[in-house]
Amino acid sequence: MELHEIIRDYKNRFHLSNIALAERFQVTPNTVARWLRGEVKSVQDETAYNISQILGFDIQKVLSGDAVTMKRPILGIAKAGYDMFLEENYLGEESVSMEEYRKGDYFLKVEGNSMINAGIVHGGLVYVKQCSSVNNGDIAVVSLNDEVTIKRFIKLKDEIVLSAENPEVEDRHFTVKQAKDASLKILGKVLFSKNYV
């Protein structure tokens, strides 16, 4: 990857202006603009350190073409079932490829087996792209009231269904009003799962 690709990816991911990027990386907006135009191919050590701290990987190694282990945080535990609150605990980090790093934001540890037929099992991890909407039928991390669950999100004309991938677990159906009253909110889209059991 080249410097302009790394900076543009970060800018687009977090919807940042050049000024906001400059503040985060402790450089001038002009420097950011030069990076994005591809005019600068390398950075000084102090700047590389600042960027690396924010991005979570050693930018100098990426720019030199060395293999780098990318990591994303495991931010908590979510139920592949119902009636569980998201435990917001930092549980460590999980390795991802550069491509996976660019696509997603964090992992959640799974408890329960309501999504077992989708390959999401108790004790596994799901990799999540943080977003507030998903396509109909996507597997999403959803909060309702203070509960967090992982389910297939289905929006019908007058109804929202949180669908399980296990015949032993009931789907949950909400009218639009019930969804609003329950503060139903999409927190992210599940990109894939890693199972260690």
Token output for 66: 């060395």
Instruction: Please tell me the distance from the alpha carbon of residue 60 to that of residue 44, in angstroms, as a whole number.
Output: 9
- N-term to C-term CA, the chain: 34
Q: Please give the radius of gyration of the chain, using alpha carbons only, rounded to the nearest integer.
A: 20
Kindly tell me the burial class for residue 12, based on how many C-beta atoms sit within 10 Å of its own C-beta (0-12, 13-18, 19 or more): exposed
Q: What are phi and psi of 76, to 5 degrees?
A: 170, -165
Angle, helices 29-36 vs 18-25, to 10°: value is: 110
Catalytic residue among 79, 109, 114, 189: 114
Catalytic residue among 11, 79, 109, 151: 151
Q: Are 125 and 109 in contact, with CB atoms under 8 Å apart?
A: yes
48 contacts: CB under 8 Å, gap ≥ 6: 59, 60
User: If you ran DSSP here, which 8-state letter would residue 87 be given?
Assistant: B
Annotation says 133 is catalytic: no
Token output for 2: 């080249």
Annotation says 183 is catalytic: no
Token output for 184: 């139903």
Catalytic (active-site) positions: 114, 151
